């Protein structure tokens, strides 16, 4: 490859990186500004124009630490349930022979086209009236405990594995749960990370369902607490624009940190997925 081609490639990658990172940079710098500034100088971290007052003001009203813990509990609950039930159902659909297996898989595919908003009212009545789970983490978590997308991902992954692996284990006397724990789960690391990443983003940024279920400020996740903060206290804020960006930064930074920590594993899984033999 010539020097000119390399230069153009790196130039294109650099431009793409700048375009991708620009919204995050704008959000971070805007959240630190003392006063709103729409000029080009707002993109520069000028020391005299930066302050943590927006974060302090936001934390004084909604207790960001507690809201982050609530978001973590809600997200972790959904994530654990999704991985556990998705792997169980996906393994059963891929390796076991039972009547109605095709119907179950077709139903999982059909659920993909049904928007959650269509089911929100009956789910709300069921969770709050029938089971009395309003203002609880269980009420937030249970409607999202099983994901048809996770079932499909795990099912497709287990279908791609050699059937001899499972048959040999059965011949040695291993039960299905032993096969799942000892053979299927260790091999399913790429699928596990894929489902974990796609699942984490959903409940962490979810607003509507937790907003309907939780009216107790001590149980509200960060997305709901920030919406209430901006909706009720915006007229009293010294810099509403900076406070809004500060809330967005508080919500986005954990996701970015998680991606940076695990990005090496994602890359390794993508590379290994293309290697055969």
Specify the pLDDT at position 185: 86
As a whole number of angstroms, the distance between CA 64 and CA 253 comes to 13
Residue 33 lies in a domain: no
Residue 211 lies in a domain: yes
* Summary mean pLDDT of the chain: 81
Residue 63 lies in a domain: yes
Q: Evaluate if residue 76 carries a pLDDT over 80.
A: yes
Residue 47 lies in a domain: no
Q: What is the DSSP string of 116-147?
A: HHHHHHHHHHIIIIIS--TTSHHHHHGGGSS-
Residue 12 lies in a domain: no
* Three-class secondary structure of residue 33 per DSSP: strand
Residue 201 lies in a domain: yes
Q: How confident is the model at residue 275 (pLDDT cuts 50, 70, 90)?
A: very low
What range defines the domain where residue 190 resides? 52-273
Name the domain count of the chain: 1
Show the DSSP H helices in the chain as ranges. 3-31, 53-62, 64-95, 101-111, 116-125, 137-141, 148-160, 163-171, 176-179, 185-187, 189-205, 208-213, 222-233, 240-273
Residue 259 lies in a domain: yes
CATH number of residue 213's parent domain: 1.10.3720.10
pTM: 0.80
What lies within 8 Å, CB to CB, of 192 at 6+ separation is: 83, 87, 185
Residue 8 lies in a domain: no
* Tens-digit pLDDT profile for residues 91-142: 989 888 888 888 888 888 888 888 888 888 889 999 998 898 988 999 999 9
């Amino acid at each position: 490859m010539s020097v000119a081609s390399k230069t153009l490639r790196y130039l294109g990658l650099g431009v793409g990186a700048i375009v991708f990172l620009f919204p995050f940079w704008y959000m971070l710098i805007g959240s630190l500004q003392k006063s709103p500034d729409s000029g080009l100088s707002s993109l520069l971290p000028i020391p005299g124009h930066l302050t943590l007052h927006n974060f302090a003001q936001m934390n004084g009203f909604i207790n960001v630490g507690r809201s982050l813990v609530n978001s973590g509990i809600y997200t972790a609950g959904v994530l654990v349930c999704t991985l556990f039930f998705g792997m169980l159902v996906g393994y059963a659909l891929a390796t076991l022979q039972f009547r109605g297996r095709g119907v179950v898989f077709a139903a999982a595919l059909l659920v993909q086209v049904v928007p959650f908003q269509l089911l929100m009212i009956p789910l709300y009545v069921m969770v709050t009236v029938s089971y009395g789970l309003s203002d609880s983490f269980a009420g937030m978590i249970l409607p999202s405990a099983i994901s048809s997308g996770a079932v499909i991902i795990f099912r497709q992954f287990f279908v791609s594995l050699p059937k001899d692996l499972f048959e040999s284990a059965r011949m040695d006397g291993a039960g299905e749960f032993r096969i799942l724990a000892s053979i299927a789960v260790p091999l399913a690391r790429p699928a596990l990370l894929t489902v974990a990443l796609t699942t984490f983003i959903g409940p962490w940024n979810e607003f509507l369902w937790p907003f309907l279920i939780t009216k107790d400020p001590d149980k509200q996740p960060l997305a709901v607490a920030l919406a209430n903060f901006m909706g009720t206290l915006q007229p009293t804020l010294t810099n509403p624009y900076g406070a809004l960006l500060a809330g967005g930064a508080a919500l986005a930074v954990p996701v970015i940190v998680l991606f940076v920590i695990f990005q090496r594993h994602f890359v390794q899984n993508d590379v290994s997925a293309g290697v055969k033999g």
